Amino acid sequence: MLNIFREEKENRKPKKYKTGVVLSGGGTRGFAHLGVLKAMEEAGIKPDIICGVSAGAVAGAIYADGWDPEEALKILTSQRLLKYIDFAIPKTGLIKLNGFEKTLKKYLKAKIYEELKIPLKVFAVNINTAEYHCFDKGPLAITVKASASIPILFPPVEIDNAFYCDAGVINNFPVEPLVGNCERIIGVNVNPLGTRHDIDNLKKMAERTFQLNIRSHTLERRKLCDLFIEPDGIGNYGLLDMSSGKKVFELGYNAAKKAFEEKGWGK
């Protein structure tokens, strides 16, 4: 009974933000996040705070930095995937993200979180302590890279003498910081499982295993959103499919536009 009273009292408190947005991980499927953000702009819905992990951290950082979503898509997809990565002799990861951090530093105007136009929370896992860590202050690019470092595929990232990897291994849908702080929460998931018959090498096996692990995290957390968007057909694209960026962007855009119309949200 006491817990119910506390929840009711919490609900009566004025919220710090009007609209909070949570963006899931999902590799290059994260281009769909940019499509959703474009649809939000057209509907006159402004994110007041963004929580992101992995691909969601990348899209969140870019948008919070003031980029137009379509312009961001052009810049990111103009680079071939090989510009972002180097293949490595397996030790702590199959692929090095050497060029990825350089690209972020080149295009992001904000070098630290405090310089962003919209508050952003990025999540990664501290491998040394097994803790789920929130970055919202200090250096931006390296922490986004850490959040996007899928275990096995990419090596962990060293920050302040600790190693960090993609937070999706613990929580691929970090909605919790928004609960109780936002009048409404929009969640975007770009990591449905779907059916795959092409798992014929170690990289694809690593991708699929990671997806299987993180899917369960999202199912319960989606209930905390006022609107949950999962673009139809997004599961048909791989985690490292740079060539389909425009198609994935359109999937996110169309799904969000339809969802806002059904909710009666927007201009």
User: Catalytic pick from 24, 54, 147, 149?
Assistant: 54
DSSP string, 142-209: HHHHHHT--TBTS--EEETTEEEEEGGGT-SS--GGGTTTEEEEEEE------------SHHHHHHHH
Q: Which two tokens mark 237?
A: 């694209």
User: Catalytic pick from 24, 65, 149, 166?
Assistant: 166
The span from the CA of 96 to the CA of 88, in Å, is 6
232 noted as active-site residue: no
166 noted as active-site residue: yes
Q: Which two tokens mark 242?
A: 């740079």
Which residue numbers are catalytic?
54, 166
